[in-house]
Structure 1
Amino acid sequence: MTVERIFDEIGHFKRFQACLYFAAAFQVIACGIHYLASVFLVQTPNFVCGGPGNITEVLYGNLTASSLEDILPIFKAGTGPLVVTTGGGEQWQLSRCQSAKRINPQPFTDTLYTNKTVKACEGTFVYDLTEVHQSIVTDWDLVCEKEWLAKLCQPTFMLGVLIGALVFGDLADR
């Protein structure tokens, strides 16, 4: 069988076939982008529990700063306390999901302090926005006890794809 005979049987590749091919290819690319969107939308940046009141000084290891935003790019959770002083002279140890007020504080040091009152973070978080400027995690504070909601994003999307395929697939066949 020659090439000319094959083209006579199936037809030549012309403008209509090219438009049909690129329309199908565009749909595949658009679906792929939607499926991968949660990778970027649900990214959790480095964060710490926000301190109460006006923070005047921040200490992390041997580094000091005047705001949490300055120290967050180098803060690593679990490597030591992040100590802040408020405008009223109080000292607080901040971690990702807890804050602890130091009772009768000693000089401003980063050593672990045993005399403190610990409480869960009450919805005020400070995020490191140097790499991740915005995500659903930063918009809705989906951290700590609400972290599971961020992980629910992809399964919910895929459930919507399944329902849409069932409903609109049936409608398309009618």
Structure 2
Amino acid sequence: MTVERLFDEYGHFKRFQICLYFATVFQAIACGIHYLASVFLVQTPNFVCSVPGNITDVLYHNISGSSLESILPVVKPAGGPLVVRTSEGEQWELSRCRFALRIEPQDFTYDFNGNKTNKECSGNFVYDHSEVHQSIVTEWDLVCEKEWLAKMCQPTFMLGVLIGALLFGDIADR
């Protein structure tokens, strides 16, 4: 059977078929955007622990600054800690999920061989907003021990798609 014969027998495309076609295309594009949304919404920017007090000086290897936000864009995640000095004179070494207070430091230098008190972060983090302005990771602090929650975003969404397809597919057939 040829295409011309099908058109003669069933008719040509009318306005309804064209609208139906574009409605299904729009729906497919919208689904694709939702499926890819977690790629952008769950992105984890560079971050370090925050310290109590006002920070006056920051060191990262041979780079210095006056705020964490100015240094964070150049910090590599596995490149060593940030060293900060507070207005009270305390010196802290900051990393992603830990921070350490230097005990009786002599000078404000990057290398330190003295004693430190190591602590786990208690939920206060500073994020690099130069590339990622906001995500669910920065909104709810889904880093360190809560990192698994950010990784569950896509599987949870797909489980909802599966349940919705089974449930509403059956309802639509009734």
Once the two structures are superposed, what CA deviation does each residue of 1:97-141 show, in whole Å capped at 9, x if it has no partner? 000000011211111444100000110000000110000000000
Which SS does the other structure have where 1:117 is aligned? strand
Quick check: 142-151 or 105-114, which moved more? 105-114
Q: Which amino acid aligns with 2:156?
A: T
Quick check: 114-123 or 4-13, which moved more? 4-13
Which SS does the other structure have where 2:18 is aligned? helix
TM-score w.r.t. structure 2 length?
Answer: 0.96
Q: Which amino acid aligns with 1:64?
A: S
Q: Which amino acid aligns with 2:39?
A: V
**Counterpart residue number, 2:6:** 6
Which SS does the other structure have where 2:169 is aligned? helix
What displacement does 1:10 show? 2.9
Which SS does the other structure have where 2:123 is aligned? coil
The reply to whether residue 120 of structure 1 matches residue 120 of structure 2 is yes
Q: Do 1:81 and 1:111's aligned partners in 2 also have CA atoms closer than 8 Å?
A: no
**Counterpart residue number, 1:102:** 102
**Counterpart residue number, 1:76:** 76
**Counterpart residue number, 1:50:** 50
> C-alpha distance in 1, partners of 2:2/2:157?
49
The reply to whether residue 87 of structure 1 matches residue 93 of structure 2 is no
Cα distance change, pair 2–97 in 1 and its aligned pair in 2 (3 A):
closer
Q: Do 2:38 and 2:153's aligned partners in 1 also have CA atoms closer than 8 Å?
A: yes
Cα distance change, pair 7–38 in 1 and its aligned pair in 2 (3 A):
same
**Counterpart residue number, 1:111:** 111
Which SS does the other structure have where 1:88 is aligned? coil
5+ residue gaps, structure 2, are none
Cα distance change, pair 21–101 in 1 and its aligned pair in 2 (3 A):
same
The reply to whether residue 146 of structure 1 matches residue 146 of structure 2 is yes
What displacement does 1:4 show? 3.2
What displacement does 1:78 show? 2.1
Which SS does the other structure have where 1:51 is aligned? coil
Percent identity, aligned pairs only?
75
**Counterpart residue number, 2:59:** 59
TM-score w.r.t. structure 1 length?
Answer: 0.96
> C-alpha distance in 2, partners of 1:43/1:17?
40
Quick check: 119-128 or 2-11, which moved more? 2-11
Q: Which amino acid aligns with 2:10?
A: I
Which SS does the other structure have where 2:137 is aligned? helix
What displacement does 1:2 show? 5.1
What displacement does 1:91 show? 0.3
Q: Do 2:91 and 2:105's aligned partners in 1 also have CA atoms closer than 8 Å?
A: yes
> C-alpha distance in 1, partners of 2:173/2:114?
69
**Counterpart residue number, 1:165:** 165
Q: What is the aligned length?
A: 174
**Counterpart residue number, 2:19:** 19
